[in-house]
Structure 1
Amino acid sequence: MKNFKAVLVLFFLSITTFTFAQRPEAKKIKVTGKVIEKSSSQPLEYATIVFQSVRNPEIVTGGITDPKGEFDIEIDAGNYDIRVEFISFKTVEFKARNLQANTNLGTISLTDDSTMLEGVELRAEASTVEIKLDKRVYNVGQDMMVKGGTVSDVLDNVPSVSVDVEGNVSLRGNENVRILIDGRPSNAINVTDALRLIPADAIDKVEVITNPSARYDAEGGGGILNIILKKGKNQGLNGVVTGTIGDPRNYGLTGNINYKSENFNVFATLGYSDRNSPGNSKTDSEYFNEDGTTKNFINERRTNNRLREAYNGSFGAEWFLDKTTTWINTVSYRRDNGANPDQVLFYDYDADFNFTGVRRRFNDQNNSGESVEYSSNLIKKFKKDGHQLTVDFSTSINKDDDNSYIYDVRDQITDNVQRQNRNLLQTDYVLPIGENSRFEAGYRGDFTDVTTDFEVQTFNDITNQFEIDPYSNVFEYKEYVNAFYSQFGSKISKFSYLFGLRWEDSNIDVNLISDNSFTNKRYNNFFPSAFFAYELSEKSNVTLSYSRRIQRPRGRFLNPAANLSSNINIFQGNPDLDPAMTHAVDLGYLKRWSKLTFNTSAYVNKTDDVFQFIRRESGSFVDGVAEVLTSPINLATEYRMGFEFTLNYTPYKWWRLNGNFNFFRNETIGEFNYTNTRDELVTLNLDNVATSWFARINSKVSLPYGIDWQTNATYNAPQKTAQGRNLGVISANLALSKDVLKDKGTIALNVSDIFNSRKRIFETNLTSVISSGEMQWRERQINLTFTYRFNKPKNEKERMPRRENGDDGDFMGKP
């Protein structure tokens, strides 16, 4: 807390200084140039150019290079010592340069400094968080906190992102977020489960895009998270191997290997994991009679062990057909087997809370999954820098099989088999116009077929055999989306703009084969976007953006197949859901000081037909107890507004801090009608106004003897819901690491959820029942990992340029 207060004090002092400091007007000049790597002549992005006044050394200014390695920095005329710096390279200095007019320093070549790679104090290390105008980039490689974990653990450490105890991902408090892997949608049927299968050591970085442009898929009203997997780019043969052991049981082995020559680059990733993620939950419920008096109490207690053994691998080849054409082909495979023994105990009490008995329900669940994906990417670069055409294609097959034997008063057998075929075709064309303008256009076709065969058999005591239950069904979902987009952007002096328009045609089939119910939803929509940026100075910018987004209901939101782990608290999808449409506006400000980077934004979202989960009586009784059903519905309208800020602060070379704070207000307007157990029409008024916030702070300290210490803490404040509220939760993580074997190896120890406090704590108020409870998806986890690198220095930055899907910030100017 003291660290966090210190950062806030520094921030307000800096703002005060920035606002009120006055200096006499000085002549402004521009200093330009280009920075390259000497051995390969490749441009170096993010190289730092520092201008230190000879007359007053306390006056320091500067900037960084753009993706072309170029810089254009405005300074006051005067005498300066100039330094050009880049991680793991020797610094180039120009002493006492008298700069009185616009000056071009020419091309500056930097050479490797091998001693820096082996030193302790000067060890090269990329920033954990890179803040750009159109996105924030979280570098996973330096985060000890996620060693031995999964993608879910990575996302839960990313600024502005939260992962709740059930694995649901939200961005700035909004769960309507699109998750991409290498710029493409995940081929998994259940994205939440898939994120727990990909090891954290296979992730290079995560891009957080809060308001995407028209180039991106319009899916995701809350924004986009793009997970970029590791791909080797260094010359020759090199790689990294990471092994993990943990408690509760967590065994893992991940390897990345790469071989690059002048004509091709071959890379592969292989991973194995064997995990047990024990969890628990409890729900205490009070049931009422028609006259409002207490009928009885039921306290539900659940414990489970999520066992999962997974294999995943990918193999790819990047072929340099000529100097302007590159063809990349990748094959990925995943297979997993698991079990989830789930025990539920129901403790029954009468109206006076006298204990009357206990009932046990045991769900012996087993699951398996397998997926194969092939992707191909062709990049054609033309003569003019930035002029290029890309074509992407991918196809995948995915299979998940979950089956359970449920031991209860009436035993049940469930079998849920899902099959998914997905094909994606995309092409993008980028045409630079003049020095500061760019036109883009492209097409995207996304075609998905998912079939779910859900069968429930219930034991009949009279016939003494299992019989098909009414919950059984065959569900088919087909989604065919064709999209076209174009956008144009330009930079005029310090002002930049980008206008885009996307059109998507959606053809959706939602079919209940078992009931002969077939529904087609065909709609097409325009999705405009607009972005504006203004450079207040070399180190500060202000941005304004607008976009229209869509959220299509999928998976468990639509599938009426119920989750029968509990037979009185049941989740069931709603096949009649319509898509939700969002208008998003974002106003941002970015400022850099020598040791501090500050980024803030205020945002407003309006969503029509938003999804809302409601709890209601289903009308059925189980052994005299009313069955409560949880389902999503289309609530009328949601207004969401808030602000956030991110701070990156480096008070000393050995200490780095970054923090993130997000405050938001949600207002929902709507109502829902249903028939209760007494055959009465009930109208639920779901109008609700809720405010909440969450904060995260991360500290990394370099201790003596080459030991790194990293801690972080997250607090999610209470939040009111339409039918109750969620209580506040605080959690913390800890990690220590040390390099060994001459920096070729690293040993790391991390503890996730130190205080075992990461839970969802809730209260629900219905007419016939009041419930309170908590749910813990995974208990405290301790991991020990060992990483070994061969022919690859620790933290070496990728120096070869590579395409990143949707990088719209190039022309908008980076401070």
Structure 2
Amino acid sequence: MKKLTLLFLLIGFTAMAQRPVKNKMPKIILTGKVLETNSKQPLEYATLVLTNTNTQQIVGGVTDASGGFSIDASSGTYTIKVEFIGFKTKNLGNYNLTKNKNLGTIFLSEDTETLEEVEVIAEKSTVEIRLDKKIYNVGKDMTIKGGSASDVLDNVPSVNVDAEGAVSLRGNENVRILIDGKPSALVGLSGTDALRNLPADAIEKVEVITSPSARYDAEGTAGILNIILRKGKIRGFNGSVNLSVGNPDLYQASSNLNYRTKKINLFSNLGYSYRKGPGNAFSDFTYLTDGVIDSLSIEKRKYDRENKNFNGSIGLEYYLNKKSSITGTFFYRNNDGNDIVTNNTNVFNPDNTPKRNVNRVENEIEDGIDTQYSINYTNNIDDKGQKLTIDLQYGESDDNDNSTITNNGVLTEINSQITKSKNRLLQIDYVLPLGEKSQLELGHKADLQDLTSDFKVRDADGNPKEYDPSNAIDFKQYIYAYYAQYGSKIDKFSYLLGLRAEYTDVDLLVLTDNTFSDKNYTQWFPTVNLGYEFSETDNLTLGYARRLRRPRHWFLNPFETRSSDTYVFKGNPDLNPTYTSSFDLGYTTRISKVTLNSSLYYQYSTDLIRPVSRIETREKGNVFVRQFLNLNNESRYGFELTTNYNPAKWARLSATFNYFKFKTDAFDYTYSYTNPDDGSIVTETEFLPEVNSNSWFARFNSRITLPAKIDWQTRIMYRGPQDDAQGSREGIFVTNLAFSKDLFKDKASLVLNVSDLFNERKRKSYTNTSKVVSYQEFQWRERQITLSFTYRFNQKKKRERPDRNGDFNGGEGFNP
């Protein structure tokens, strides 16, 4: 694998070395700003096209969030024009550029005659490179039609979504997920479930932030995934409607509607879905006592899930004047689930003779409601980029779960869990330009969460069981943050330096036994982001960030939850945060029709939070217990390469390869439990050896246009095997196929999508300790076939613009 990594590096640098040397001409910088004529609002992503009148070479760039642009070009005579979707193209004529020039403010007017030829869901370039992040546009990805946010993330380079829906970034599952740059009720109490219920069509793009600047939360040692939702920018009433049906049962309807006038912008995302999600699991346990087999058990689980989900968000942006606006958004989600889990457990003596058999059936009814209210105030104080934004957000989550459990047809247990959460957020950000190439950013954020959880376990008569895992907790986590960052550009060199301070106050009151734990800590998080542009097609970035991972409330709750009589999970109130220092070196180049994005990264973590398994002997036999612990330190480094190749208009290819290696220190794990025979306390020690392992994943994506203008998309993903302190996990291979045909003069599209074509998306893992040897297999969702129909009104398909994969801009709010 080391040779393979070196080979990728040599290919990249050899390609650079073999590129023909161009005649060097003096460089000039072209700056200015693009605004909408009537509202005077900045137009982000407006395109400036510079055509050299002698060589006909084309260079250009796009505007940032404030409408500003800064384009490097060789001196010469150029014709300049400005374009933006839905607006009239503005030709500025010929300019003889021999020195830096500011074009001032350029105003664009909406093109009412061609408004109907505009596409909101545009087929954009694959990636935009910023100083502190990469932006992946969802565009026309057929393999996610009728899918969810989890499907979108699973198609983003550097990101993986496993069989249970857990999201990882470069192999690290501690990734922070934001919606429109902020924590959101869209993620809810259980981020995995919420992402499965958020329609893919509501998502415009995903920002992958592996080296976050100080402006972002320090939470998430792997980095941040920021999901940007669609919000129309075109005047008038327009939108799209999507209908999907599938097998296993799937019925989904969603819409993106937008109405904009001179003073207001009304936007909405609505979606309803009904789906059945069959799944399965298999476990084979061999229990040991002093190295001798004590007993064996085999478990087979079958999941029959039925889910009804409604997502709705509506927002209104009101333009107070030419420079400021206020936006209010309301979000509502109602999720109803009816899940039946059938677990057949067979326990054997050491000689394989039957000991007992239990057929456990759990019928769980879930009802979850999430609401969120948010207000944003934006004031573009002047035309130089000075800007103030204030965000207020209030959200409530209310989850009610009720389940009945039968063993061999007899009702034995009635469970209920009520979880309520209230979240408040205040965020203030201020941007102050300092000259044409520098700016200062300051900000404050308060993120407050209050959560209560009441879990009751009763027997068939409504009485507490002899071994009662019932519990109730009151959890509070208040985070107060302040940050400052300064960015500038000197010729081809850009830098963004920041410092963030976060004070955390965590209180956990276990009401069941009235125990209380309190953790308070203040930490500093420096960030450094550097960039250098070798040419218009080559740039280098270097980032450093200190990050942390705070334990979630279910990690801390000391009581147990069970998926069977022999498999339980319990929290650990003594958990401490994990702190990580991350370094990321990235290089981007474009050679003809090929774009290469590569990076080397290194992470060092202390007090690593990891799940650890153990065996306890209880009244009914051995029980497999899983709990999170702080496992000393870990070093992780890796290499990533992403390529995009468009050999022809009818063929587009992309691939991602990521290799990482990690080393975790050895750890002695001591635990205690009560002996069911005499009530004594049993103390055991499990030695977790040093882990020195590696893994990799690769993804290939192709889009081919067939005759009759039928688009065919194939996506293949392989996630390599991986070892940990107590076992290993096998590799996972997944293939998705999709076919698309545009109808009604490109106003509509019909898409057939097959997710997990070979039905092999399964997590297969092994555990090997002094107490147990096990093999476990889990498949959350079986192969899905979906047919989707999308209709666009006052929108038509707009073909892809010239590729801008080499666009290189500054960080969030910093585009020198």
Q: Normalising by structure 1, report the TM-score.
A: 0.90
Alignment of 1:432-443 (within 5 A): 432-443=433-444
Counterpart-to-counterpart distance in 2, 1:11 and 1:48: 33
Counterpart-to-counterpart distance in 2, 1:365 and 1:569: 18
Alignment of 1:152-171 (within 5 A): 152-171=150-169
Deviates more, 1:704-713 or 1:216-225: 704-713
- The CA deviation at 1:173 is 0.7
Counterpart-to-counterpart distance in 1, 2:655 and 2:385: 35
**Residues 363 and 601 from structure 1, CA distance in 2 versus in 1: closer, same or farther, beyond 3 angstroms?**
same
**1:63–1:539 Cα contact (<8 Å) kept:** no
**2:118–2:797 Cα contact (<8 Å) kept:** no
- The CA deviation at 1:466 is 5.9
Aligned residue for 1:514, secondary structure, equals coil
Aligned to 1:751: 754
- The CA deviation at 1:12 is 7.0
Aligned residue for 1:195, secondary structure, equals helix
- The CA deviation at 1:665 is 1.1
- The CA deviation at 1:705 is 2.1
Deviation per CA, 1:111-163, whole angstroms, max 9, x where unpaired? 9698998799xx96212433333222222241111111111111111111111
Counterpart-to-counterpart distance in 1, 2:343 and 2:593: 53
Alignment of 1:488-499 (within 5 A): 488-499=486-497
**2:122–2:800 Cα contact (<8 Å) kept:** no
Aligned to 2:262: 262
Q: 1:131 aligns with which of 121, 129, 132?
A: 129
**Residues 527 and 12 from structure 1, CA distance in 2 versus in 1: closer, same or farther, beyond 3 angstroms?**
closer
- The CA deviation at 1:436 is 0.5
**2:307–2:335 Cα contact (<8 Å) kept:** yes
Aligned to 2:652: 656
Aligned to 2:389: 390
Aligned to 1:216: 216
Q: 2:582 aligns with which of 581, 584, 595?
A: 584
**2:123–2:798 Cα contact (<8 Å) kept:** yes
Counterpart-to-counterpart distance in 2, 1:753 and 1:278: 14
**1:118–1:743 Cα contact (<8 Å) kept:** no
Counterpart-to-counterpart distance in 1, 2:78 and 2:430: 43
Alignment of 1:655-804 (within 5 A): 655-669=651-665, 670-675=667-672, 679=682, 681-795=684-798
**1:52–1:82 Cα contact (<8 Å) kept:** no
**Residues 753 and 445 from structure 1, CA distance in 2 versus in 1: closer, same or farther, beyond 3 angstroms?**
same
Matched AA of 2:520:
R
Alignment of 1:200-349 (within 5 A): 200-290=200-290, 292-349=291-348
**2:517–2:573 Cα contact (<8 Å) kept:** no
- The CA deviation at 1:352 is 3.6
Matched AA of 1:696:
R
**2:727–2:765 Cα contact (<8 Å) kept:** yes
**Residues 486 and 78 from structure 1, CA distance in 2 versus in 1: closer, same or farther, beyond 3 angstroms?**
closer
Counterpart-to-counterpart distance in 1, 2:393 and 2:490: 38
**Residues 703 and 425 from structure 1, CA distance in 2 versus in 1: closer, same or farther, beyond 3 angstroms?**
same
**1:488–1:498 Cα contact (<8 Å) kept:** yes
**2:131–2:530 Cα contact (<8 Å) kept:** no
Q: 2:180 aligns with which of 137, 160, 182?
A: 182
Aligned residue for 1:453, secondary structure, equals strand
Aligned to 2:678: none
**Residues 93 and 354 from structure 1, CA distance in 2 versus in 1: closer, same or farther, beyond 3 angstroms?**
farther
1:420 is the counterpart of 2:441? no
Deviation per CA, 1:652-675, whole angstroms, max 9, x where unpaired? 122212221111111111331224
**2:118–2:794 Cα contact (<8 Å) kept:** no
Deviation per CA, 1:749-785, whole angstroms, max 9, x where unpaired? 1111111011111010121221012100000011111
- The CA deviation at 1:618 is 2.7
**1:150–1:198 Cα contact (<8 Å) kept:** yes
Structure 1: 5+ residue stretches without partners: 799-805
Counterpart-to-counterpart distance in 2, 1:262 and 1:79: 37
**Residues 581 and 37 from structure 1, CA distance in 2 versus in 1: closer, same or farther, beyond 3 angstroms?**
closer
Aligned residue for 2:554, secondary structure, equals helix
Deviation per CA, 1:558-604, whole angstroms, max 9, x where unpaired? 22342322111111221221111111111111222342221111111
**Residues 657 and 21 from structure 1, CA distance in 2 versus in 1: closer, same or farther, beyond 3 angstroms?**
closer
- The CA deviation at 1:642 is 0.8
1:65 is the counterpart of 2:66? no
**1:349–1:356 Cα contact (<8 Å) kept:** yes
Aligned to 2:805: none
Counterpart-to-counterpart distance in 1, 2:582 and 2:13: 28
Counterpart-to-counterpart distance in 1, 2:167 and 2:813: 28
- The CA deviation at 1:468 is 6.8
Over the matched positions of the two proteins, sequence identity in percent amounts to 41
Matched AA of 1:636:
N
- The CA deviation at 1:605 is 0.9
Matched AA of 1:154:
V
**2:80–2:95 Cα contact (<8 Å) kept:** no
- The CA deviation at 1:259 is 1.1
**Residues 481 and 162 from structure 1, CA distance in 2 versus in 1: closer, same or farther, beyond 3 angstroms?**
same
Aligned to 1:450: 451
Aligned to 1:538: 536
Counterpart-to-counterpart distance in 1, 2:447 and 2:233: 30
Deviation per CA, 1:499-542, whole angstroms, max 9, x where unpaired? 11111111110111111101111111111111111111122111
**Residues 717 and 586 from structure 1, CA distance in 2 versus in 1: closer, same or farther, beyond 3 angstroms?**
same
Counterpart-to-counterpart distance in 1, 2:59 and 2:788: 39
1:569 is the counterpart of 2:567? yes
Counterpart-to-counterpart distance in 1, 2:81 and 2:11: 28
Matched AA of 2:203:
I
Matched AA of 1:358:
N
Deviation per CA, 1:387-420, whole angstroms, max 9, x where unpaired? 1111100101110011211112671111111000
Cα root mean square deviation, aligned: 3.2
**Residues 418 and 774 from structure 1, CA distance in 2 versus in 1: closer, same or farther, beyond 3 angstroms?**
same
- The CA deviation at 1:680 is 5.2
Counterpart-to-counterpart distance in 1, 2:567 and 2:244: 37
Aligned to 2:405: 406
Aligned residue for 1:587, secondary structure, equals strand
| Aligned length, in residue pairs | 787
**1:692–1:719 Cα contact (<8 Å) kept:** yes
- The CA deviation at 1:556 is 2.3
**1:88–1:124 Cα contact (<8 Å) kept:** no
Alignment of 1:462-541 (within 5 A): 467=465, 469-541=467-539
- The CA deviation at 1:296 is 3.1
- The CA deviation at 1:166 is 1.1
Counterpart-to-counterpart distance in 1, 2:81 and 2:317: 36
**Residues 94 and 236 from structure 1, CA distance in 2 versus in 1: closer, same or farther, beyond 3 angstroms?**
closer
